[in-house]
Amino acid sequence: MMARRIPSILPDLNFEEALEITKIHSIAGELPKNTPLITTRPFRAPHHTVSGTSLVGGGRIPKPGEISLAHYGVLFLDELPEFNKNTLEVMRGPLEDGIITISRVNATLTYPCNFMFVASMNPCPCGFYGSKDKECTCNPQMISKYMGKISRTIIRQNRYTNRSNSSKISKIR
């Protein structure tokens, strides 16, 4: 998968960055065994059923979510329209700010979430809209309903669009 390779073409982490990533993973209880320091950029690809809390962080004692676990790395959302619109909406502010503040009765915590946002989606439900290989079988209503599933703000925050061979559109922030 193309998206999974992105961290490997990004610049190497410096020591401070590696330390920051390690701390976040440690707090989240996601530090792999026998790994005192994470030295590679994270790649996180949560499933489309991910909850808002798992995505941005939370819980009684607020833990970092996927967006913070992707700090200095890549957050990849495959099949973007399959994600719950409200779940994606909670990501909007942190995506702009590079930090997420989680307030609970007993604690208010701020975690960094400076990541590259990559998402993929088909151009239409059947996947062949605009394709030279096969004709699209969707009607305009189906296409507009499909596109309407994604938050416009999330789309605006994506700066580059790339159409890969599989006719999937990848969006890279």
Tell me the window of 63-71, 93-101, 128-136, 163-171 that interacts with Zn ion (CB under 5 A): 128-136
Contact flag: residue 24 with Zn ion (CB under 5 A)? no
Contact flag: residue 55 with Zn ion (CB under 5 A)? no
Contact flag: residue 99 with Zn ion (CB under 5 A)? no
DSSP assignment of 104-162 equals: -SS-EEEEE---EEEEEE-SSSSS-TT-SSS-----HHHHHHHHTTS-HHHHHH--EEE
Q: In 3D, which of 27, 24, 28, 1 has the Cα closest to residue 13?
A: 24
* Member of 115, 117, 129, 146 binding Zn ion (CB under 5 A): 129
Contact flag: residue 126 with Zn ion (CB under 5 A)? yes
Q: Which one, 101 or 131, has the nearer CB to Zn ion?
A: 131
Contact flag: residue 121 with Zn ion (CB under 5 A)? no
Which residue carries 């973007």 as its tokens? 80
Interface residues with Zn ion (CB under 5 A)?
A: 124, 126, 129, 136, 138
